[in-house]
Amino acid sequence: MSTMAYPAKDRPWVEKAEELAAGFAPAAAQTDQEAALPKDNLRRLFDAGLDAAILPEEQGGAGLSFRAFGRIVFEIARGCPATACIWLMNTGAAETLIALSSPETSARYVREFRQGKRFANALSEPTSGNLFLNPVQEAERLPGGDWKLEGAKRFVSGAELADYFLINVSIDGAPAFFGVERDDTLEIHDIWDALGMRGTRSQLIGFRGARLKRENRLGPPPEGRQNLIGLGLPWLSLGIAQAAYDALKEHARTKTLGATGKPLSHAQWIQFETAAVHARLTAAKLLAEHTLALADEGSAETNILALEAKILANQIAKDIAELGIRVGGGLAYTKALPFERHFRDAQAGGLMAYSSELCHLFVGQYELGVQEPG
């Protein structure tokens, strides 16, 4: 991707991700078909030091820029979207727990994360859905200052591998965030017979009296804090979009139309539609890249821009995958060509919080100066 700039010090990390992701691509169809956790891919990313690289240098990391982080999510998603989704959730949950916990708890998470323990986001509730920052499941206060949760979280990517969960609950009607270590009060229910992103195995977790320890409660985020997952999500869709685009080009150039004896790329409608999606893919990447450049500067503007970047990225991924199916024809309706998988995987981005619809609502309200939603 020629347009994307990131600091030179981050180049080795991006190159490692590119190299690893190229190796993930051949098995992506099998991961999808078997709905299998891409454990080996995740282990390779960890062994290459990419997980720890997101930490600041004083915590033994590489102090990776947001621009390089986005590019890494993009490259992994281009090779295997399920791997990219779990990796984004693992690094995002770990970063939040490390950044917002007390110094003692944070130091423990740093140690565990650097040793390969895995983290997951367990924020979505069956009832509050997209409005995951406003949980409705009320925690019960215990004598001594801890709390207890009887409830459930849904769509927890990589849940079966996770050692720690970032969760949220309502305490006296206000949202509260905790780190929770896996124990036998957590029950994982297999609900993931999914349309796409099947290797994420984003399961339902039952919390059967899970103890929310006072010392593991997160503090409030400092002013201007950037959120790794919010910034990374557009790149998950852009990686899928790029994989679909690459496959489309390859197919159009190599498949000959029997009647004309020429490759599909000579069909005018395909040239026209390729140009249209390519222009939008480039624009979506540039907006997502601009958002990350501002995040690296600590700008508060990223709150809205990240939503706009997500809108464009989610839609272009779906549109390129759909074009791939049309260009591929009947065979693209089968697993003989990769487009049906791209098409299924591409639906996830717009559903993942904030959904495309909610992103539109928030951006529209911001632009129109609407304070109270209608």
Ligand X SMILES: Cc1cc2nc3c(=O)[nH]c(=O)nc-3n(C[C@H](O)[C@H](O)[C@H](O)COP(=O)(O)OP(=O)(O)OC[C@H]3O[C@@H](n4cnc5c(N)ncnc54)[C@H](O)[C@@H]3O)c2cc1C
Q: Are 234 and 116 in contact (CB under 8 A)?
A: no
Residues of this chain that interact with ligand X (CB under 6 A) are 85, 89, 121-124, 129-132, 155-157, 197, 200, 202, 348, 351-353, 355, 357-358, 361
Whichever of 277 and 353 has its CB closer to ligand X, that residue is 353
Q: Are 54 and 72 in contact, with CB atoms under 8 Å apart?
A: no
CB of 127 to ligand X, least distance (A): 8
Q: Which residues contact 164 (CB under 8 A, 6 or more apart)?
A: 93, 94, 97, 109, 112, 117, 118, 119, 120, 179, 180, 181, 182
Give residue number: closest CB to ligand X.
Answer: 129
How far apart are CB 219 and ligand X at their closest, in Å?
20
- Cβ proximity to ligand X, 149 vs 264, nearer residue: 149
Closer of 280 and 362 to ligand X (Cβ): 362
CB 1 within 8 A of CB 238: no
Q: In this structure, are residues 208 and 150 in contact, taking their beta carbons and an 8 Å threshold?
A: yes
In angstroms, give the least distance from the CB of 96 to ligand X.
12
Of the candidates 325, 352, 348, 345, the one whose C-alpha atom is nearest the C-alpha of residue 336 is 325
Q: What are the structure tokens assigned to 297, written together? A: 């500067």
C-alpha 252/C-alpha 317 separation (Å) is 18
Nearer to ligand X, 72 or 82 (CB): 82
Residue 30, judged by CB atoms within 10 A of its CB (0-12, 13-18, 19+), counts as exposed
CA distance 37 to 192: 11
Closest to ligand X by CB, 58 or 372: 372
Give 53 or 236: the residue with its C-beta nearer to ligand X: 236
- Quote the tokens at residue 345: 């995987």
CA distance linking residue 148 with residue 139, whole number of Å:
6
Residue 158 Cβ vs ligand X, minimum distance, rounded to whole Å: 7
CB of 137 to ligand X, least distance (A): 13
Q: How far apart are CA 320 and CA 322, in angstroms?
A: 5
* Shortest CB 133 distance to ligand X, Å: 10
Rounded-to-integer distance, Cα 18 and Cα 6, Å? 14
Which three-class secondary structure state does DSSP give residue 240? helix
Query: Which residues in 132-173 belong to E strands, given as ranges?
Result: 140-141, 147-156, 164-171
In the chain, DSSP finds a helix count (H) and a strand count (E) of 12, 9
CB closer to ligand X out of 110 and 120:
120
Instruction: Give the nearest distance from C-beta 259 to ligand X in angstroms.
Output: 41
First to last CA, the chain: 41
Tell me whether residue 55 or residue 353 sits nearer to ligand X (CB atom).
Answer: 353
The CB-of-185 to ligand X minimum distance in angstroms stands at 18
* Shortest distance (Å) from residue 106 CB to ligand X: 21
Nearer to ligand X, 70 or 230 (CB): 230
Token output for 147: 């709390």
